[in-house]
Amino acid sequence: MTTRVELRKIAVNGPNPSRFDDPIALKIVLEVFEKAPESVIDIRFTWSPIWDFPVDQSLDELEVGPLTSLGKHELLIETDPPDFRKIPDPTGPTALLVSFSYLGREFLHVGYNVIVSCKGEIPDVFESADCLTRQLGRCFTKPKGISWDAPEIEDHHRDDSKCNHEEQTSDKVSQES
């Protein structure tokens, strides 16, 4: 009997749009089938502006579980916002990437289109995030098949979370804005 975990629902928890410097909170429903996983699930948040400069920010990594029973599990997860001072131009198209891994194997990749806008004139240098708002838009999910019962991968912090920007939304996932 193998383990299987699937995303059933994902939604922004809290106001959307919101202030740029507010924490990012998501409500997630995962469903466990067949056999409950024996270890925790790792969740990693990455802020990834779509421009050419390499300013991706790892926002947070957290563990949930283990999810010891079959059925649906509702998670409320939150991460700190990105540091606007590390982004040359924080306005414009951006992606929020959320990666779900088990024993070092990514089984789910979620990408949100994010629009960051500025109230008033865009300054040459942002001194604060007070004038910035952030709106998490459409969500794209990409489930990946993994071997749930295989041993843990030693170096599971490699950067394999780059988003494939083609639409790959599962029809089983309920999304709310």
Tally of domains in the chain: 1
| Residuewise pLDDT in 10s, the chain (177 residues) | 556 899 999 999 999 999 999 999 999 999 998 888 899 999 999 999 887 667 899 999 999 999 999 999 999 999 999 999 888 888 878 999 999 999 999 999 999 999 999 998 888 888 889 999 999 999 999 999 898 878 888 755 444 433 333 333 344 445 554
For residue 102, is it within any domain?
A: yes
Confidence at residue 64, expressed as pLDDT on a 0 to 100 scale? 94
Coil, strand or helix at 50:
coil
Q: Is residue 171 part of a domain?
A: no
- Whether 170 maps to a domain, the answer reads no
**Domain contains 169:** no
Phi and psi at residue 16, in whole multiples of 5°? -150, 105
CB 28 within 8 A of CB 48: no
The DSSP line for 107-118 is EEEEEEEEEEEE
> So what's the pLDDT on residue 111?
97
pLDDT of residue 176: 55
- pLDDT confidence of residue 168: 34
pLDDT of residue 163: 37
Per-residue pLDDT, 170: 40
Domain that holds residue 131: 4-145
pLDDT of the residue at 127: 87
Residue 79 belongs to domain with CATH number: 2.60.40.1490
**Within a domain: residue 59?**
yes
- Domain assignment present for residue 72? The answer is yes
Non-local (6+) Cβ contacts of 44 within 8 A are: 58, 60, 61, 98, 99, 101, 161
Q: What is the largest CA-CA distance in the chain?
A: 59
Separation of alpha carbons 70 and 139, rounded Å = 26
In the block, which residue shows the tokens 């001072």? 85
In a domain, 96, yes or no: yes
Instruction: Look at residues 101, 136, 100, 130 and name the one whose alpha carbon lies nearest to residue 118.
Output: 130
Tell me the two tokens of residue 22: 């507010």
Please tell me the distance from the alpha carbon of residue 160 to that of residue 104, in angstroms, as a whole number.
11
Q: Where are the beta strands (DSSP E) in 34-125?
A: 41-49, 57-64, 71-79, 92-102, 105-118
Residue 161 within a domain: no
